[in-house]
Structures are given as structure tokens and as C-alpha cells.
Amino acid sequence: MEWKLFDLLEEKIEKILVQVQTLSRENKELKQKLTEQARFVEQTRERMDGLEEEKTVIQNKVDDLLKKISQVID
């Protein structure tokens, strides 16, 4: 009877160890995905900042051209 308890304990410990290994691997994969997503978000933010600057430059040029046209017409 005592051996059955040891066998049962050993089996349960082995299952726990397998589960810990699986969870550890999944955790590592999720951390890697999170790092990749954070990098993507940062790149997207930088691109949006660049587009905002470009938009401002274009808007200023259009405003200047409209002023010049207005001066010629008036």
C-alpha cells in the first residue's frame, strides 16, 4: 500500500513538472510576442509622428500659396 502512495505522489509530481515546463515555455513565447508588439507600436508611433510633421509642412506651404494667390488677385 505504501508503494502505491509513493507511485501516486511520483505521478502527480511528474504531471506538475510537465505543466510547469509547459507554462514556462508559454510564458517565454508570450513575453517575446509582447516585445515584438511593443516594437511594432513604437515604430508605428514614430511613423505617425513623421506623417504629422509632413502634414504640418504641407499645410503651411498650401497656406503660403493661398496667401500669394490672394495677394495677386486683390
Distance separating alpha carbons of residues 24 and 35, to the nearest angstrom = 17
Grid look-up 509582447 returns: 34
Range of the domain at 20: 1-74
Q: Nearest 5 degrees, angle CA 49-CA 54-CA 67?
A: 140
- For 16-68, the pLDDT digits (tens) are 999 999 999 999 999 999 999 999 999 999 999 999 999 999 999 999 999 99
How far, in Å, are 12, 14, 15, 22, 67 from residue 4 at the CA level? 12, 15, 16, 27, 93
Q: Does 8 have pLDDT greater than 70?
A: yes
The per-residue pLDDT for 3 is 87
Count of the separate structural domains present in the chain: 1
Q: Which amino acid is at 42?
A: E
The per-residue pLDDT for 2 is 81
Give the confidence band of 73 by pLDDT, cuts at 50, 70, 90. Answer: confident
